[in-house]
Amino acid sequence: MNPVWLIAVPLALAFISTFANRISNWLLFLSAIFNAVAGIFLSFSSGTASYSIGGWRSPFGIDLIVTDATRILLPVANILFFFAVIIHLSKKRALEKFSVVYTISLASLNGILLTNDLFNLFVFLEIAGVAAYLLAMTGKEGESKVAAFKYLLLGSVGSLLYLLGVAVLYAAAGTLNISAIATKVSDGLLNGDVMLVSSLLMIAGLGVESKLVPFNGWVPGVFTKSSNMATLVLASVYPVAMISTFSRVILAVGDRRALDLVIVLGVATVLIGEVIAFKQRNLRSTLAYSSIAQSGLAIFLVGIGTVEALTASVMLIINNALAKFVLFSVDSYTTEELGADDLESLYGLGRMAPVAGLIFTVSALSISGMPLFLGFRAKLLAISSSFESLLVVPIVILLAAAIEITYYFRWIFALYRPYKGEERARLSLPLELMAIGVVLAAILVFLGSSSHETLMAFSKAGNAMVDAIITLGKNLIGGV
């Protein structure tokens, strides 16, 4: 089926909800279901396919590209969004007037994952960005507006720099299609200075959303102050689209020298993220800085650029998305019920709400890379492929992993310590959260301990990240 339905349907339903305000929640639910089902259909075929928009053949028109990597990432993003909608649909306050914004953000994330055109990517990044700025404003205190404003400034500067990079690349290459430019880059037809400067500008632009150092000043404020559903979507669904698009674009049109800079920035991000996360005293901030570190992990592998590294990167993105979904959900639930989420308040949560404790433990272990979980396989592959570059890189990554394990275990032990205050009643999770959490935790365990063949899909995805865009460009007949 034509993947443009994944973008057109949520947009159409969003426009309908402007004059039918009462049913906007149901329209959001409808578009989330439609996208989740359509995303699953997309994953049944295989290979690289390109769909043109407007009837003009690529590279003259815009086209959508579906590779093996998209077939994993797209369904995951849509299904996680659907889960987020299910969990929060019953709480009227969370959605209220913002359902239009969520619907449009769903459409834009799909657009980012699918598009094969640089300027179209800019437009969809702006849509996703404006939706994210609006979602960041949903917090209860006035500080969320200041955090959202900071996010808006950083995001706008980032997209400005990205646009400049695209303009410079267009002046040199004459086309805006990613496959066509990738072919020219690999044939060596573009000036080295032009490629270097445009890669730097595009790294700066895409790096703001991908939480790279030094562009990630917005993350702590936004993740800690916005509402529960907004944080869930921003922390688990957005990174899937943003980090994978960063990888796709920089690998296709980036200069080889710029990839070394990507390694440096990625490693710095990991180290800074883990160190600051270690010092945090409440769970939300810890998870926010841990998200920064996970992005850095996935991105420095892009700089290394081998198929193995890209496979690890895809696995890390999926691991982060699933685990952070559970972690943030449990955290927002306990904050609502217990009022606080610092270390002492969470003592004994494992006994008060056993299912919550179990899924929290599984997700935390998977993110820190313990054996039996998907995170272990991903980290192992990441570290082994990092030996391709300087020795200092795997050393820093291992150091960061050690720090990560330490603070996650601190939180896990806190869940099972006896509570020091008065007796608290047993908590029971809402049914949707329990069911979804158990499903996601089971997936993490399954992928982590199953045989090697089930991970073939990830290797195909890694392969596709490196090759598919250039292969499509070379197969275009009559391209410029």
Partner 1 sequence: MKRIIAGIIALLFFFTVSIVLNTDSQTVSGVPRYGEFDLSERNSHSYVTKSVNDTLKEVKFGSTIDAETGSANFVTSIVINYRSFDTLGEVTVLFLSATGVGLLLGGDKKRLLSPIKASPVVKTAAKIVSPLLLILGAYVFTHGHLTPGGGFPGGAIIAAAFLLLVMVDDEKRAPALLKVLEGSMGLAYILLGIGGLLISGSFLQNFLPTGVVGNLFSAGLIPIVYSLIGLKVGAELSGIVDDFVSEGGDNI
Partner 2 sequence: MIQYFSLLLTAIGIYGLLSQKNLVKLIVSLNIAEIGVNLFIVSIGYIEKGLVPILSSENNSSTLLFVDPLPQALVLTSIVIGVGITALALAIIVTINHSKGTIDIDELIERGGAEE
Contact between residue 204 and residue 161 where contact means Cβ atoms under 8 Å apart: yes
92 contacts partner 1 (rule: CB under 8 A): no
Among residues 23, 53, 343, 438, the one that binds partner 1 under rule CB under 8 A: 53
Stretches 169-177, 232-240, 329-337, 389-397: which one binds partner 1 (CB under 8 A)? 169-177
Q: From the list partner 1, partner 2, none, which binds 59 (C-beta under 5 to 8 Å, kind-based)?
A: partner 1
**Chain centroid, CA 83 distance in Å:** 15
Compute the distance between CA of residue 153 and CA of residue 134 in angstroms, rounded to an integer.
13
The overall longest dimension of the chain from CA atoms, in Å, is 75
Residue 18's contacts (CB-CB under 8 Å, 6 or more residues apart) are 100
Stretches 92-100, 365-373, 374-382, 454-462: which one binds partner 1 (CB under 8 A)? 92-100
Compute the distance between CA of residue 83 and CA of residue 258 in angstroms, rounded to an integer.
37
Stretches 104-112, 216-224, 385-393, 471-479: which one binds partner 2 (CB under 8 A)? 216-224
CB of 391 to partner 2, least distance (A): 32
Both tokens of 78, joined, read 């849509």
Q: What are phi and psi of 63, to 5 degrees?
A: -135, 160
Q: From the list partner 1, partner 2, none, which binds 160 (C-beta under 5 to 8 Å, kind-based)?
A: partner 2
Give me the residue label for tokens 């990738």.
182
Q: From the list partner 1, partner 2, none, which binds 149 (C-beta under 5 to 8 Å, kind-based)?
A: partner 2
Instruction: Using alpha carbons, select from 150, 93, 161 the residue that is nearest to residue 125.
Output: 161
- Site track 242-261 with partner 1 (rule: CB under 8 A), x = hit: --------------------
Q: From the list partner 2, partner 1, none, which binds 221 (C-beta under 5 to 8 Å, kind-based)?
A: partner 2
Both tokens of 33, joined, read 């279901």
Stretches 107-115, 247-255, 303-311, 462-470: which one binds partner 1 (CB under 8 A)? 107-115
108 contacts partner 1 (rule: CB under 8 A): yes
Q: From the list partner 2, partner 1, none, which binds 97 (C-beta under 5 to 8 Å, kind-based)?
A: partner 1
Q: From the list partner 2, partner 1, none, which binds 47 (C-beta under 5 to 8 Å, kind-based)?
A: none
**Chain centroid, CA 191 distance in Å:** 33
Scanning 339-455, the segments in alpha helix (DSSP H) are 349-352, 354-368, 374-386, 392-416, 431-449
# chain residues binding partner 1, by CB under 8 A: 62
111 contacts partner 1 (rule: CB under 8 A): yes
Give me the residue label for tokens 């200092």.
392
Task: Give the CB-side neighbour count of residue 429, counting CA atoms within 13 A.
Answer: 28
Give me the residue label for tokens 């921003």.
234
Stretches 140-148, 267-275, 305-313, 335-343: which one binds partner 2 (CB under 8 A)? 140-148
CB of 129 to partner 2, least distance (A): 8
Is the bond into 214 cis (omega within 30 degrees of 0)? yes
Stretches 13-21, 25-33, 275-283, 396-404: which one binds partner 1 (CB under 8 A)? 13-21
Contact between residue 444 and residue 319 where contact means Cβ atoms under 8 Å apart: yes
- Site track 45-74 with partner 2 (rule: CB under 8 A), x = hit: ------------------------------
Nearer to partner 1, 65 or 312 (CB): 65
Q: From the list partner 1, partner 2, none, which binds 153 (C-beta under 5 to 8 Å, kind-based)?
A: partner 2
- Site track 73-112 with partner 2 (rule: CB under 8 A), x = hit: ----------------------------------------
CB of 381 to partner 1, least distance (A): 35
CB atoms within 10 A of CB 475: 12
Compute the distance between CA of residue 249 and CA of residue 262 in angstroms, rounded to an integer.
13
Nearer to partner 1, 18 or 451 (CB): 18
303 contacts partner 2 (rule: CB under 8 A): no
**Chain centroid, CA 468 distance in Å:** 21
- Site track 58-87 with partner 1 (rule: CB under 8 A), x = hit: -xxxx-------------------------
Measured CA distances, 335 to 61, 74, 284, 431 (Å): 49, 31, 9, 18
Residue 427's contacts (CB-CB under 8 Å, 6 or more residues apart) are 334, 337, 349, 352, 353, 356
5 contacts partner 2 (rule: CB under 8 A): no
Task: Dump the DSSP string for 218-281.
Answer: THHHHHHHS-HHHHHIIIIIHHHHHHHHHHHHHHHH--HHHHHHHHHHHHHHHHHHHHHHHT--
Contact residues for partner 1, defined by CB under 8 A: 2, 4, 8, 11-12, 15-19, 51-57, 59-62, 97-98, 100-101, 104, 107-108, 111, 119-120, 123-124, 126-127, 130-131, 133-134, 137-138, 142, 164, 168, 171-176, 188-194, 197-198, 200-201, 480
